[in-house]
Structure 1
Amino acid sequence: MKENLISVILPIYNVSDYLDRCMKSVINQTYKNIEIIMVDDGSTDDSALKCDEYKEKDDRIVVFHKENGGLSDARNYGIKRASGNYITCIDSDDFIDLDYIEYLYNLITKYNAKMSICQHRVLYSNGKVKEFGKSGEEVLSSKKCLERMLYHDVIDTSAWAKLYDRSLFSDVEYPKGKLFEDIGTTYKLMLQCNNVAVGYESKYNYIIRRDSIVNCSFNPKKFDLLEMTDKMADDVLKLYPDLKKAVLRRQVYARFSTLNQMCKTTRWNNEKKEVIAYIRKNSKAILFDKKVPQRDRVAIILLLLGYPIYNVFWNIYCKNK
């Protein structure tokens, strides 16, 4: 095994229109000692063919073709076959800045951490770009990093925009067959770290696709978000019971996210009522928590005025987003 080899895990499923841009950004990284693991998860477009073509062009590229098992299964498959000392996950419809890996690796070595994080920017189909980055860096304790993630304070749960010591995956896998798989995994990786190095510059480019899993119409699988969030809550509280407020905030946020995705469906009315009841039951605790983002407070006040009112404002927000 090469010293400081970094494995880039790329799950690939029907992303032919996006793959060239992604691969160009990975192949041309300023940090050269990488292996690029392309996991074709049973693509039915020409993504599989493109994978093989890239393999012929760069000897750092390894390609695996497998039956479709979903994003988590593809990530796990690639991670198990990685040779690197460190691992980073990239979604193949996104792309990265050319110094993405170098930036994350320098954070890990500078702060002697097992995990580093950078920020991202969001690219919309209409050309709009939302920038989340700024300057600076710091090292956080595992507990502080978790707390900030639970409050959505810069730190998020995404699998991407992070570099991991491969040892963190010894007993952790992405949950196969589940949506929102990063909710059920990232916190487990953080819990294993003494500290986490955080850089505030944006180095990852997240593409908003209308046909993505997050943006597609509501289906029962989207209740996975609640299951994953509540499991995370239980695990975090076992180790850090004093993070109760932060955990509750994340659980309420997950209910809002689910409610927003249910707004256009006339089905699942009982489940919708349960979600609304949960939010209202915990509304006081959220409203008086000074660390809760202002948007959460506004959402709760609108919901307390009545779901129809909340729904009107949510639809207005979506149209202007």
Structure 2
Amino acid sequence: MENELISVVVPVYNVEKNIRKCLDSLINQTYKNIEIIVVDDGTPDLSGKIAEQYAEQDARIKVLHKENGGLSDARNKGIDLAQGTYITFIDSDDFVSSDYVEYLYTLVKKYNVKMASSFYQMIVSEDEVMIDKNGQEYLLTPQEAIEKMLYRNEISHNAWGKLYHRELFEQKPTLKFNGIFEDERYKQFNPIQKEQYRFPVGIINEDLALVYYLALECPQIVQGTRKTYYYFSNPTSITKSKVKEADFTIFALYKALSEVILQKYPDLSDAILEFKGTIYVKLYKRLVLKQRNDFNEVQKYMKDEIKLMTKGLIGKKVRKPTKIRLFSAAFSKRLFIILCNFENLLGAKS
């Protein structure tokens, strides 16, 4: 196997309780030729200092301290600093299996592709980690990969858990956006900076705003089904997270993204409907459980949109759980709340 340098970009902000676990999982990778780029995004806690301590012990770790600019800005700084032929992103409160890098690198070399994805596992405690040494490998067209992401079927739309050839961030984009991002409603989601792909800064759901486009730029994508990425999940956190005005930008982001995808693959209209339903239900769920009266107009708009969606579900390839959530949200708020609370208890993905 070739021994190309691989860059691991780790944005850091307020993770002093978890960063050691993350860095330990990286310095102990079976694939040794890596550089670990820790981007301290102006964290007020000890995360940056902890990273410096690790850098003193391992020359592969580089620490950049910067003013707070958000996750996208931190990732972009990491991309700019990366020297590797390939780049992967790890969130600093997550960790990976010891062969995470080797597994993804083996996939991209075996199938000669620019993007590979592995499975992930949501955990509440480390006791739940499953060591996964078996799995299948699938070579996908961009359309097949996009469809899987839209249905949340084996490939996530998160930036982490994947390996990207650096050319994806250096080449001039070939996608035809047809002026979508010149529209004032969508400018903030533009994934292109200086004719290169980067994470849009200053938005939430930044992964959505880039990963799909990177996949569309690839002739083929390989998917490995081994679980190599682990992230901690609090199933009840949705009842505690504060709803902000910025959360509602997801509607415009969805419209921009769906336009780009459907321009290239009109056959994915059902998958787009699944994606839209998931987005609307997820945010409606937060509003309802938080009982936010200051967003009554938005809540009414969302309920009306969800009702319209239910009228168009007949004969559509939309997952049964999504249909149940949509119909309960549209016609029985009480049932919807019961369903949401039940899902939270089970730790179900929304």
Which TM-score bucket, shorter chain as reference?
Answer: over 0.9
Aligned to 1:98: 98
Instruction: Establish whether residue 4 from structure 1 lines up as the match of residue 29 from structure 2.
Output: no
Aligned to 2:57: 57
The verdict on how the C-alpha distance between 1:128 and 1:216 changes in structure 2, with shifts beyond 3 A counting, is farther
Instruction: State TM-score, norm by structure 1.
Output: 0.93
- 3-state SS of the aligned residue for 2:313? helix
Instruction: Establish whether residue 282 from structure 1 lines up as the match of residue 309 from structure 2.
Output: yes
CA distance in 2, matches of 1:101, 1:287: 43
The verdict on how the C-alpha distance between 1:31 and 1:175 changes in structure 2, with shifts beyond 3 A counting, is same
What letter matches 2:248 in structure 1? F
Deviations 1:144-182 (A, max 9, x none): 100111111111111100000011112211111111110
The verdict on how the C-alpha distance between 1:243 and 1:303 changes in structure 2, with shifts beyond 3 A counting, is same
CA distance in 2, matches of 1:302, 1:268: 20
Aligned to 1:16: 16
Aligned to 2:250: 225
Please point out which of 247, 251, 256 is paired with 2:276. 251
Contact 1:180–1:224 (CA under 8 A) maintained in structure 2: no
CA distance in 2, matches of 1:133, 1:111: 19
The verdict on how the C-alpha distance between 1:269 and 1:126 changes in structure 2, with shifts beyond 3 A counting, is farther
- 3-state SS of the aligned residue for 2:294? coil
Aligned to 1:199: 224
Runs of 4+ aligned residues of structure 1 deviating over 4 Å after TM superposition are 125-134, 209-215
Aligned to 2:332: 306
Structure 1 residue runs of 5 or longer lacking an equivalent are none
Instruction: State TM-score, norm by structure 2.
Output: 0.85
Instruction: Establish whether residue 271 from structure 1 lines up as the match of residue 307 from structure 2.
Output: no
1:10 to partner: Cα distance? 0.3
Range moving further from structure 2, 159-168 or 241-250: 241-250
- Over the aligned positions, Cα root-mean-square deviation in angstroms equals 2.4
Aligned to 1:27: 27
Aligned to 1:182: 207
- 3-state SS of the aligned residue for 1:20? helix
What letter matches 1:183 in structure 2? L
Aligned to 2:164: 164
Aligned to 2:184: none
Structure 2 residue runs of 5 or longer lacking an equivalent are 171-195
CA distance in 1, matches of 2:64, 2:286: 34
The verdict on how the C-alpha distance between 1:134 and 1:147 changes in structure 2, with shifts beyond 3 A counting, is farther
1:34 to partner: Cα distance? 0.4
Aligned to 2:323: 297
Paired residues, what number?
319
Range moving further from structure 2, 196-205 or 306-315: 306-315
Deviations 1:26-75 (A, max 9, x none): 00100011000000000111111112111111111111000000111100
Q: Percent identity?
A: 36
The verdict on how the C-alpha distance between 1:211 and 1:256 changes in structure 2, with shifts beyond 3 A counting, is closer
Instruction: Establish whether residue 242 from structure 1 lines up as the match of residue 242 from structure 2.
Output: no
- 3-state SS of the aligned residue for 1:17? coil
Contact 1:122–1:130 (CA under 8 A) maintained in structure 2: no
